[in-house]
Structure 1
């Protein structure tokens, strides 16, 4: 029950990774699922466990949950001699024999083990720093690589995983502390002990969040199955609502998009219920991507709340004022309903959320939390006697913390401590606000389609590279539909093809295409996207067109935070 004397505050953390797993081989092409699990998803649970009075909304993309499960299955099979670990980095950690020094496999593992924040992860540990410096020498002088000891790679693999380990694990896990103290000359037994810790953390994620939900500390919500951008699946043209002059792909629509959007939500609910044993009340539609049609779909699927960025609200208010110029601006700190939809829509306070994402990492934790809470108190005080219904901080639960000292340990600890015991602010959840509303949500006639980023879909469509990616997906979907209709596949083959199509529909591929992003990450994602498309063609037994094998995009940018996060407003790009 929300106190009538305190202003509700919702901290909504979104946990998601796209599918890095090749469905054809079972191999993980990139390690970000298990690395973010041991570092971020574990830490985020631990901070809530440490502060019983805290509340939060935690949103999961189902494809992330399934990949965590795949890691657990693969590790267990490997332990019993019944299979291999399908992640090259994790497999190398416990390999009996490592690649020969100087070989491509050896150099490839070195490259993988340097993909970490240089300041907050690598430089934090003198031993890791020395290994990274040696790796630079070896990369620049190929002629000396043959003289490298295999022990170098063994130590580098251990330190890479120690560096990515969550701070709350580091502070309580004896094995991790012992390995850090040992510093070098790690044995195979050391490496396998480290895998045991990793396995335990991965296996504990679902039960820990389920327990937090059962205690009432956490509301668990869900995104579309593979984090697909539902408004664009249903109607590419909806991007024009916020950007009338946007250049759209050659294909005017995604074939059967409405049915696919429905499937994405139905599958999401199925996976969510299997993992957590409950029905989700809310849906963080991927990247806060909403449209009026999307609200109708969420309504039909039984969701009671969703959320987006504050620019979506302002665009919708601006549209409503064209026919009702005197319509007051009630602000973003309350829920709204749009058209005839019954779904309550909450809006992210972009200013507060972006302070956490882009500013506070370099502040002392007490000062950062004090500043954030001061802003919240000002918002509460501006209500002129009637408290605003909710202040929403919404952001991903993984990418910000690697820029903070000790993975944000001190900031998050202080944040929950202060807000859990604040005399005028009360941590709560969206389901509580919907179940016991202070008043009926204000209603606007139409939600202008957009996302939390700039209130548009420009991050996923409109750029030539992004549009080409959509054209490839639309073409693949047309072939998919023809094959599915002609009866040539078994029911099992059809279901496998639907799963593969869903992976191709994920929003992350389109996010990364374009010159704005760093070249290495663009290369990783465009290669992975095209591989998923090739797998789709194989599953429907149709030859992939030559265009699928041609490079889509080459990044050349250096965005803030490496492009993994974006500010909510376009004017904030200089942050």
Structure 2
């Protein structure tokens, strides 16, 4: 059989949402899990299904998978016996009794139904745009809010969900098309039909991605269970490897962090296997956050590959040159191994990945794909002394598309169309590359700890607000350790406490703290973080400290793309 001489290209899409559910009440405080399911996760599967010769790696955070399961259970219970659904928006969609017009509950639901991209979602649909304008008028006229019709809120709830619907669904599902054509005066029958579509789409995700994996079209990978920054759990001081003068929290050690990291990996594997019925070969360590210790841990837990951003590679190469006498700088477009760890590490090309995340949304799809593929072709054609490059494009698989027309429909369709039959490039997966290596791995003596954001951990530690959050977590961990050793907790309580601590260890809370983030989102996430910590204290039977009831961060910035994504390179830094 003739070998394929085309340059391998890996597209790796990372799917992740933190735990939005209050574990004590069962309530989902924010709807982003099910909304991204019906918008992004179904679209990403559908594009691959439409291009059977394309290949991709799709990485899932296990807590996202668990929350999808929980939504499906709650919907089924509601159908069976009317049990309340834990998500206020989803419950309101099919509620027989909406809040009284003008009441705080009514206005709160109205505001929630406007949390969508104004240009790409709300203004795209004339009925949704009119409802939004009417909401703006009512917002400024409290004296007439009592005269709003409940039908206004019912229609707004329907259009909110229609706006968030995946483009591949919008173009093919008869119920969605019928509702859009009706446009207003939606009945309870309409609203229940919409809920049925939402449940149908969410239930389809597991089987669809399993089938894509079984056909060899997709490699499924996982992150640690609740998406923690593993190097910081192992050693908070690892943050100083890339930033020697970084300001650390008062607590400089997260006691028992290694055991916690192992717990996240083992728990994540269990969830992954239950959902997909297979074992992952690769682990996208949350936020591409790696350290030498992390590589060792991932290998010990049976993973064969991981990945990060190219700034981590550049920092590690620089260290090898300055301290170990490395003469020739290896190219980032190849596999790497570090020290004696056999785990293979791939590095994304941050420039290529950030073009998709931050540049192409306003381009014509053919121009954007043409530009991206041109850059990839140039990388592939560079002379590497006979070695074939491995070109990695890794990015968020959900948040970018709301900034594209039609949820990125034309861009993704064109991207797969061009690359699935390219004459000199071939889409592949990391698992396949490990089975059929195209080049030897570059070897470096040490991986400098960092993430795919700037090659540092500054997004999660070092800022005063982030450091306060770490101090609260470290303090809670000390109380947790004492409670676990006291003999006062039952086995069930210990398991519950361990899961709750795992939720608190997630990366997202620290991501959002800081003045550069939007105030409304910071408020949401810092409230949820403190609520999760409070629940942990309740489980272990300890009173929460007074400091836990003081807001951590206020925000007030206006970062690109709302702050949900960040470019790989710091604009103020130089390579």
TM-score bracket, shorter-length normalisation: over 0.9
* Post-superposition offset of 1:82: 5.1
2:13 match: secondary structure: strand
Query: Separation in 1 of the partners of 2:2 and 2:554?
Result: 49
Per the alignment, in what secondary structure is the counterpart of residue 509 of structure 1? helix
SS of residue matched to 1:306: strand
Helix, strand or coil: the match of 1:570? coil
- 8 Å CA contact retained: 1:226, 1:506: yes
Matches of 1:439 and 1:387, distance apart in 2: 6
Alignment partners' CA distance in 1, 2:344 and 2:352:
21
Match of 1:521 in 2: 521
* Alignment-derived partner of residue 149 in structure 1: 149
Q: What is the DSSP-based 3-state SS (H/G/I as helix, E as strand, rest coil) of the residue aligned with 2:450?
A: coil
User: Across the two proteins, how many residue pairs are aligned to each other?
Assistant: 573
Matches of 1:567 and 1:331, distance apart in 2: 21
Contact 2:515 2:557 in 1 (8 A): yes
Contact 1:2–1:8 (8 Å) recurs in 2: no
TM-aligned CA deviation for residue 2 of structure 1:
11
Q: Report deviation, 1:325.
A: 3.7
Q: TM-score, normalised by structure 1?
A: 0.98
Partner of 1:451: 451
Q: Which residue of 1 aligns with 2:541?
A: 541
Q: Does 1:492 align with 2:497?
A: no
1:275 is aligned to 275
TM-score in terms of structure 2 length: 0.98
Q: Tell me the CA shift for residue 324 of structure 1.
A: 3.8
Q: Given the alignment of the two structures, is residue 571 of structure 1 paired with residue 571 of structure 2, yes or no? A: yes
Matched with 1:334 is: 334
Q: Which runs of 5+ in 2 are unaligned?
A: none
The alpha carbon displacement at 1:211 in A equals 0.5
1:39 aligns with 2:39: yes
1:199-232 Cα shifts (integer Å, max 9, x gaps): 0000000110000000000000000000010000
Q: Aligned partners of 2:383, 2:189: CA distance in 1, in Å? A: 61
| 3-state SS, counterpart of residue 121 of structure 1 | helix
Match of 1:224 in 2: 224
1:572 Cα offset (Å): 7.2
Q: How does 1:79-228 map to 2 (within 5 A)?
A: 79-81=79-81, 83-228=83-228
After superposition, where does 1:241-252 map in structure 2 within 5 Å? 241-252=241-252
Distance (Å, rounded) in 2 between the aligned partners of 1:20 and 1:324:
46
Distance 1:57 1:47 in 2: 13
Aligned residue for 1:300? 300
Q: What per-residue deviation string (whole Å, max 9, x for no partner) do you get for residues 404-450 of structure 1?
A: 00000000000001000000000000001111112331110000000
Quote the Cα distance in structure 2 between the aligned partners of 1:31 and 1:240: 36
In structure 2, what is the Cα distance between the partners aligned to 1:264 and 1:101? 45
Residue 553 of structure 1 is matched in structure 2 by 553
Structure 1 unaligned residues grouped into runs of 5+: none
1:439 aligns with 2:439: yes
Q: Counterpart of 1:14 in 2: which secondary structure?
A: strand
Instruction: Give CA deviations for 1:115-156 in whole Å, capped at 9, x if unaligned.
Output: 000000000000000000000011111111011001000000
Q: In 2 relative to 1, CA 326–375 (structure 1 residues): closer, same or farther, beyond 3 Å?
A: same
Shift of 1:349: 0.4
1:75 aligned to 2:72?
no
Match of 1:56 in 2: 56
Which whole-Å deviations, capped at 9, do the CAs of 1:140-199 have from their partners, x for residues lacking one?
A: 111110110010000000000000000000011000000000000000110000000000
SS at match of 2:346: strand
Partner residue of 2:6? 6
Q: 1:473: which partner in 2?
A: 473
Report deviation, 1:331.
1.1
Q: Does the 8 Å CA contact 2:317/2:330 hold for their aligned counterparts?
A: no
- State the 1:387 CA deviation: 5.0
Structure-2 separation of matches of 1:439 and 1:185: 61
The equivalent residue for 2:464 is 464
Q: CA deviation at 1:88?
A: 0.2
Report if the CA contact (8 A) 1:518-1:559 is conserved.
yes
C-alpha deviation, 1:530, in angstroms: 0.3
Deviation at 1:3, TM superposition (A): 4.8
Give distance in 2, aligned partners of 1:2 and 1:562. Answer: 48
Q: Secondary structure at the match of 1:8?
A: strand
Q: Shift of the alpha carbon at 1:529?
A: 0.2
Q: Distance in 2 between matches of 1:196 and 1:387?
A: 52
Residue 389 of structure 1: how far off its partner (Å): 2.9
2: CA distance, partners of 1:321 / 1:494: 48
- For 2:383 and 2:400, the matched residues in 1 are separated by 31
d(CA) in 2 for partners of 1:135 and 1:443? 59
For 1:394 and 1:327, locate their aligned partners in 2 and report how far apart those are by CA, in whole Å: 29
* Residue 15 of structure 2 is aligned to residue 18 of structure 1: no
C-alpha distance in 2 between matches for 1:44 and 1:335: 26
Query: 1:316 and 1:499 mapped to 2: Cα distance?
Result: 34
Match of 1:425 in 2: 425
For 1:314 and 1:275, locate their aligned partners in 2 and report how far apart those are by CA, in whole Å. Answer: 36
**Relative to structure 1, is the Cα distance of residues 515 and 3 closer, same or farther in structure 2, using a 3 angstrom cutoff?**
farther
Deviations 1:427-482, CA, capped at 9 Å, x for gaps: 00000111111233111000000000000000000000000000000000000000
How far has the Cα of 1:330 moved from its partner?
A: 1.7
Distance between the aligned counterparts of 1:93 and 1:326, measured in 2?
A: 62
The CA deviation at 1:386 is: 2.7
d(CA) in 1 for partners of 2:524, 2:386: 50
Contact 2:518 2:563 in 1 (8 A): yes
Cα shift readout 1:19-78 (whole Å, capped 9, x = no counterpart): 000000110000000000000000000000000000000000000000000000000000
SS at match of 1:12: strand
Classify the secondary structure of the residue corresponding to 2:383: coil
Q: Secondary structure at the match of 2:494?
A: helix
Q: Residue 256 of structure 1: CA displacement?
A: 0.4
Tell whether the 8 Å contact from 2:282 to 2:306 is kept in structure 1 after alignment.
Answer: yes
Relative to structure 1, is the Cα distance of residues 136 and 2 closer, same or farther in structure 2, using a 3 angstrom cutoff? Answer: farther
- Check the 8 A contact 2:320/2:326 in 1, yes or no: no
